[in-house]
Chain A
Amino acid sequence: MKTNKQDTTELVIEGASCASCVGKIETALKNINGVNRAEMNLALQTVSVDGSVATDVLIKAIEAVGYKAKSTNDASDDELLDEKEIADQKYYSGLMNKVWIALGLGIPMMLYGMLGGPMTVETNLERVVWLFIGVLCAGIMYFSGKHFYVGAWKSLVNHNANMDTLIALGTGTAWLYSMIVVLFPMALPEMARHVYFEATAMIIGLINLGLALEVKAKGRTSEAIKRLIGLQEKTARVVRDNKEIDIAIEQVLLNDIVRIRPGGKIPVDGIVMQGHSTIDESMLTGEPMPVEKVTGDKVVAGTLNKSGSILFKATHIGKDTALAQIINMVKRAQNSKPPIGRLADVIAAYFVPTIMIISIASALIWLNWGPDPTVAFAVISATTVLIIACPCALGLATPMSVMVGIGKAAEAGVLIRNGEALQTASKITSMILDKTGTITEGAPKVTDVVIADDSYTENQILTTLASLEKGSEHPLAQAIVDSAVERKLELGEVSDFQAITGMGVQANIDDKHLLFGNKKLMLTNEVALNDYVSQAQDLADEAKTPMYFAINKKLVAIVAVADPIKQDSIAAIKRLQMSGIQVVMITGDNSATANAVAKKVGISQVYSEVLPEDKSRKVAELQAQGEIVGMTGDGINDAPALALANVGFAIGTGTDVAIESADITLMRGSLHGLADAIAISKATLSNIKQNLFGAFIYNAAGVPLAAGVLYPFFGILLNPVIAGAAMAFSSLTVVSNANRLRLFKAKDH
């Protein structure tokens, strides 16, 4: 389910305090041309405006009646990111201060204990010293651990439990027990008069350290999105009132004429009105070759103008540019969960209360059946169980890898819609490729001109043929005209043009009689073909359509037209097959052409002469055979098949892609994107599995160990400080492992 986009602007109002203010503000807004609705919520101090009016116009109108206003969503992605970085940095330094203070007390105490110093309360002097340390420790709990206790309390009263709950309970228990030992030593057996202040201080210090390092590591997982956001230009040079002015990107309006100079970045999406240039779109599509742009071509925000100066008309601005939509989609996808993470989610939801129960049960077991001093053992095991359990590692395992994996894919020009598509893509066993536009370029081109009469040059032949065919709407005729235009040939006029159904065309030009068509046309007109028939057959075997051209009943040339196979289709298909995927070709074309193309690209399974509506049936057939089917098509004709397939891949050339139409969108035409998408999915999934495995094993082994299951056999009981360190670094390990994915490289191609 997706939200519908609306032209609603939300503004926050300052200074409105009464019902009459509401009326004033609403009237001021409604008086603006283009505002359909303006409703103020006095309680929330916000106003919601429907209509197609720029935000700054609305703000000015509100300011004119004496109030201040700002947009709720007005910060650009760039600003949000900067803000987030500043906030994260501040949070990091705050945490590090807490770390030093806590460890400053914890480490000396721990060393004292490790070097044989008594951590027990036997004499009055020891009581005084430990009381002093206990109070100091309380100070540390307040300064370095206040956020855990406040968080724990707030969640508790809201019937919720989280990591804070565990830390607060664990460290609180250790401190409280130690204080009882200090204040009322006589209440406990002599062997149990042991203090654990060092555990409290060390655990608080270590967990804060883990959190701080995690903030740093997490920052790196969002590098891909940062790079995309960084592509957004901040200013634009627009032509207004015949003058070129530089304005902030937010102020660019639809249909503004924007000037881009060489080396400039395209600020908004548009259509070239004047000039020509080459534009580097690699940052969005992964396509390394710059694309030539002339009048009428689309340009996309975030891409780089290489050579010429152009003027273009803004067609999409703000949140509607392809770049903004890509950023949005990547962001959304990065936070979606693949099904593999669901079990961890279910566990995470019950985790903390379960750990609390295990902690109590463990304490009871020690108290009932443990050796002396039972109280001390019970406290240690209860505390250690609370401290070692790490819900964060479980919670982080999936989202961190998804974040890096989807970002990595975006860098390669592959947009993955959500975590589910990512997971399914890694399991594809069969890949159906549409022929036209997917394996091939999608536009027929003249591939061969075999000259039979040396008195004509190739250009002369193409000029004559293009003049002959320019009135025809046949796609093959179009290929010939395109080829002449590409060579900048000047076309002439023909007379007596006649299309002969099923055979070809004939016409006259400069007293010459032209025949252009198939073998039948030539034979009917008694044109001698000699051994050119076999040459034509050779071309047909290569999936080309050969046509004979005769002037005054003498064969002049054979011209072959074909939809050429994309340069890297063969290599990309091989990559797919090497990774164990069965590749199937599907096409509406006749079987001769289909088989020839399939043979060339190394596909053995071909469905030819398939009507568009039957493509989805083929997907279903494969699925019925137990295959997990990926379908790759252009996203328009193939929509039903794309939707039915386990994963639909829409292939686009350039940035003109329907992002919402498929599970995975390939921003460039190359099928390597397909192999990349699958390779990244596989790498991400295995990363998630490693993380989940690590997190499960950590908790499954750590909690019983902390409860003391090894004690009856080996006399081993975990120290709470070790548990604190393990807990602090378990989630860091998960984040770091996810970061490893950043180094992933799809195979060279």
Chain B
Amino acid sequence: MMIINIVGFLFIGLIVWWFWLYKPAETEATKENRIKVVVNNGIYQPARIKVKAGTPALIEFVREDTSPCGAMVLFPDFEISEELSLKQSKLIELPAMVAGEYPFHCQMQMYKGLLIVE
């Protein structure tokens, strides 16, 4: 029983680390401050994207995911919400931003991404 308890606690620790503490690497934008994000299988790929501060950024979303949950992407900090059509690319123009972290997500926050401005 002891072993099962230890394994259980290890799992809890693993969940905390995997979902909350671990910070996966970011994908950087091109020198034109542009980046492509594919929406598929319930996630944004890449989900952590880095763009330059002080210049407008272009994010191209391509939705491959048929679930209606993937049909909308929101950047709440910039009051931007855009509909993504299936199998089509949609360019979202973000204004010149100050450095910081700005989340983007679907309406229900099940698809989540982070825009890192540096």
Known: A75-B85, A368-B1. A4 touches B95 (CB 8 A): yes
In the bound assembly, the distance between CA atoms of A399 and B107 in angstroms comes to: 7
Q: Would you call B85 and A391 a contact (CB within 8 A)?
A: no
Q: Would you call B30 and A349 a contact (CB within 8 A)?
A: no
Residues of B near A88 (CB, < 8 A) are: 68
| 23 pairs, A vs B, C-beta closer than 8 Å | A44-B60, A46-B60, A80-B83, A84-B71, A84-B83, A88-B68, A94-B66, A150-B41, A152-B42, A154-B40, A331-B81, A331-B83, A332-B79, A335-B72, A335-B74, A353-B20, A357-B16, A368-B1, A391-B108, A391-B110, A392-B110, A395-B108, A399-B108
Q: Would you call B16 and A353 a contact (CB within 8 A)?
A: yes
Interface membership of chain B positions 1-43, coded 1 if the CB is closer than 8 angstroms to chain A and 0 otherwise: 1001100110110011011101010000010101010001111
Q: Would you call B20 and A392 a contact (CB within 8 A)?
A: no
Q: Would you call B32 and A41 a contact (CB within 8 A)?
A: yes
User: Which of B12, B71, B111 is in CB contact (< 8 Å) with A357?
Assistant: B12
Known: A44-B60, A159-B18, A160-B47. A360 touches B72 (CB 8 A): no
A283 within 8 A of B: no
Q: Which residues of A (305-355) have their CB < 8 Å from a CB of B?
A: 331-332, 334-337, 345, 348-350, 352-353
Known: A151-B42, A368-B1. A44 touches B15 (CB 8 A): no
A658 within 8 A of B: no
A667 to chain B, nearest CB (A): 21
Residues of B near A357 (CB, < 8 A) are: 12, 15-16
Residues of A near B79 (CB, < 8 A) are: 1-2, 332, 336, 418
A161 within 8 A of B: yes
B93 within 8 A of A: yes
In the bound assembly, the distance between CA atoms of A12 and B76 in angstroms comes to: 28
Q: How many CB-defined contacts (below 8 Å) exist between A and B?
A: 151
B115 within 8 A of A: no
Q: Would you call A3 and B93 a contact (CB within 8 A)?
A: yes
Q: Would you call A72 and B89 a contact (CB within 8 A)?
A: yes
The 3 A-B residue pairs whose C-beta atoms are closest, nearest first, are A335-B81, A395-B108, A151-B42
Residues of A near B53 (CB, < 8 A) are: none
In the bound assembly, the distance between CA atoms of A62 and B111 in angstroms comes to: 37
In the bound assembly, the distance between CA atoms of A373 and B95 in angstroms comes to: 60
In the bound assembly, the distance between CA atoms of A4 and B95 in angstroms comes to: 7
Q: Would you call A367 and B4 a contact (CB within 8 A)?
A: yes
Residues of B near A356 (CB, < 8 A) are: 15
In the bound assembly, the distance between CA atoms of A368 and B107 in angstroms comes to: 40
In the bound assembly, the distance between CA atoms of A349 and B103 in angstroms comes to: 11
In the bound assembly, the distance between CA atoms of A350 and B56 in angstroms comes to: 31
Known: A80-B85, A150-B41, A335-B74. A367 touches B1 (CB 8 A): yes
Q: Would you call B5 and A364 a contact (CB within 8 A)?
A: yes
Number of interface residues of A (CB under 8 A): 65
Interface membership of chain B positions 99-112, coded 1 if the CB is closer than 8 angstroms to chain A and 0 otherwise: 00000000111111
In the bound assembly, the distance between CA atoms of A418 and B109 in angstroms comes to: 19
In the bound assembly, the distance between CA atoms of A1 and B67 in angstroms comes to: 30
Q: Would you call B68 and A44 a contact (CB within 8 A)?
A: no
In the bound assembly, the distance between CA atoms of A162 and B89 in angstroms comes to: 24
Q: Would you call A163 and B110 a contact (CB within 8 A)?
A: yes
Residues of A near B60 (CB, < 8 A) are: 44, 46, 72
Q: Would you call B85 and A164 a contact (CB within 8 A)?
A: no
Question: Closest residue of chain B to A92, judged by CB?
Answer: B68
User: Which of A2, A44, A361 is in CB contact (< 8 Å) with B34?
Assistant: A44
Q: Would you call A360 and B8 a contact (CB within 8 A)?
A: yes
In the bound assembly, the distance between CA atoms of A451 and B72 in angstroms comes to: 67
User: Which of B12, B19, B107 is in CB contact (< 8 Å) with A160?
Assistant: B19
Q: Would you call B43 and A155 a contact (CB within 8 A)?
A: yes
In the bound assembly, the distance between CA atoms of A609 and B89 in angstroms comes to: 56
In the bound assembly, the distance between CA atoms of A2 and B93 in angstroms comes to: 10
Residues of B near A218 (CB, < 8 A) are: 68
Interface membership of chain A positions 11-43, coded 1 if the CB is closer than 8 angstroms to chain B and 0 otherwise: 010000000000000000000000000010101
B115 to chain A, nearest CB (A): 13
Of the candidates A158, A353, A363, the one having the most CB atoms from chain B within 10 angstroms of its own CB is A158
Interface membership of chain A positions 55-73, coded 1 if the CB is closer than 8 angstroms to chain B and 0 otherwise: 0000000000000000011
Interface membership of chain A positions 143-155, coded 1 if the CB is closer than 8 angstroms to chain B and 0 otherwise: 0000100111011
Residues of B near A158 (CB, < 8 A) are: 24, 43, 45, 47
A83 within 8 A of B: yes
